[in-house]
């Protein structure tokens, strides 16, 4: 089971499993694009094997009630995988306290390099899982008759690993830890709230998604300015944003939107950047309005 909030990276791999008889269920979102916990509860059943949800939604920045989700899913006997790509760079994450079974995040959202990430799994589950790829390094002994595999995590790391690729995220995570994860979360929450409040004050701007637990990203549309035109104007004001469907076409379809503009914050942003954003949005409105 996934939700309508998911990034394509948490949709497409599960669709590929359907060829092996897996049924994919999509838990609904509410009309505002918010996560719908009762809706998820209705979708859960004795045949639910895995609930794979985002921890923080990449379009709306909504933090999902993951503790409640884990409890509900475990009560049905389902395992839980959390997509932490948006959460890991913003929140202190304690996988043991969350009690999730798997947790994934990517290096490039955590100030690290692209093309690498991390997958956490509970030890007992990893020990019960076969390797997904064979090769050197993941074995204890090899004969022509049989091979004994290493214990996790090594059995899942066939071949010479991407050593240089792993050094980067390690340095990036050290950097984040030194900054203090709680301080990063407070900074991101505060900037997100400030940006939502300032954008809500601009006539013609519509914010996408619920406010309550939003952190790190703000999606919006501007009347009479297409998100891609807006992104080009903002680029001229030295503001780099993302425009488009944000690899979340399920959510965009539910909301009836082809595209939104999305600002995302990092530790280096401050309120002056938000003020510059507002000025640039108003400049775009002057070009395209009327």
Residue 258 is a binding residue for other proteins (CB under 8 A): yes
| Of 73 and 243, CB closest to other proteins | 243
56 bridge partner residues = 63
Degrees to nearest 5, angle at CA 256 with 237 and 239: 10
Structure token digits, residue 161: 């690993």
DSSP-assigned states of every residue in 82-138? EE-TTTTTTS---HHHHT-SEEEEESGGGTS-SS-EEEEE-HHHHHHSPPSS--TTS
Residue 212: how many other CB atoms lie within 10 Å: 8
Q: How far is the CB of 240 from other proteins (least distance, A)?
A: 12
| Choices 69-77, 155-163, 208-216, 237-245 (CB under 8 A): range interacting with other proteins | 237-245
Structure token digits, residue 196: 């939502």
| Choices 101-109, 135-143, 231-239, 271-279 (CB under 8 A): range interacting with other proteins | 231-239
Residue 15 is a binding residue for other proteins (CB under 8 A): no
**Is residue 4 a contact partner of residue 251, using CB atoms and an 8 Å limit?**
yes
Residue 233 is a binding residue for other proteins (CB under 8 A): yes
Cα–Cα distance between 143 and 272 in angstroms, integer? 64
In the list 30, 157, 211, 229, the residue contacting other proteins (rule: CB under 8 A) is: 229
Q: What is the CA radius of gyration of the chain?
A: 21
247 is catalytic: yes
Decide: helix, strand or coil at residue 231. Answer: helix
Degrees to nearest 5, angle at CA 189 with 11 and 74: 45
| Of 233 and 250, CB closest to other proteins | 233
Cα–Cα distance between 259 and 248 in angstroms, integer? 10
Set 76, 85, 100, 247: catalytic member: 247
Decide: helix, strand or coil at residue 80. Answer: strand
| Choices 74-82, 130-138, 240-248, 264-272 (CB under 8 A): range interacting with other proteins | 240-248
In the list 11, 40, 259, 261, the residue contacting other proteins (rule: CB under 8 A) is: 259
Residue 282 is a binding residue for other proteins (CB under 8 A): no
Residue 28 is a binding residue for other proteins (CB under 8 A): no
- Per-residue x/- track, 176-215, other proteins (CB under 8 A): ----------------------------------------
| Choices 22-30, 110-118, 145-153, 236-244 (CB under 8 A): range interacting with other proteins | 236-244
List residues near other proteins by CB under 8 A: 224, 226-229, 232-233, 236, 243-245, 252, 258-259, 287-288, 290
Instruction: Report the catalytic residues.
Output: 247
């Amino acid at each position: 089971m996934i939700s309508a909030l998911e990034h394509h990276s948490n949709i497409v791999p599960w669709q590929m499993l359907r060829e092996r008889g897996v049924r994919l269920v999509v838990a609904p979102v509410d009309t505002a694009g918010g996560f719908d916990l009762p809706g998820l509860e209705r979708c859960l059943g004795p045949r639910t094997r895995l609930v794979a949800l985002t921890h923080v939604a990449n379009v709306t920045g909504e933090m999902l009630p993951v503790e409640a989700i884990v409890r509900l899913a475990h009560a049905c006997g389902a395992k839980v995988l959390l997509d932490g790509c948006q959460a890991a760079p913003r929140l202190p994450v304690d996988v043991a306290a969350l009690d999730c079974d798997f947790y994934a995040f990517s290096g490039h959202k955590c100030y690290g390099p692209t093309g690498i990430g991390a997958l956490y799994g509970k030890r007992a589950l990893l020990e019960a899982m076969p390797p997904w790829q064979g090769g050197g390094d993941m074995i204890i002994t090899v004969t022509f008759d049989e091979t004994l595999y290493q214990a996790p995590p090594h059995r899942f790391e066939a071949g010479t690993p991407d050593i240089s690729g792993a050094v980067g995220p390690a340095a990036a995570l050290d950097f984040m830890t030194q900054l203090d994860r709680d301080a990063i979360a407070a900074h991101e929450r505060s900037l997100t709230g400030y940006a939502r409040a300032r954008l809500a004050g601009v006539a013609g701007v519509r914010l996408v998604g619920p406010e309550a637990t939003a952190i790190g990203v703000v999606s919006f549309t501007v009347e009479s300015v297409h998100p891609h035109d807006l992104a080009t104007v903002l680029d001229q004001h030295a503001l780099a944003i993302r425009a488009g469907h944000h690899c979340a076409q399920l959510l965009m379809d539910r909301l009836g939107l082809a595209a939104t503009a999305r600002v995302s914050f990092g530790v280096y942003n401050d309120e002056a950047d938000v003020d510059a954003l507002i000025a640039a949005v108003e400049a775009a409105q002057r070009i395209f309005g009327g």
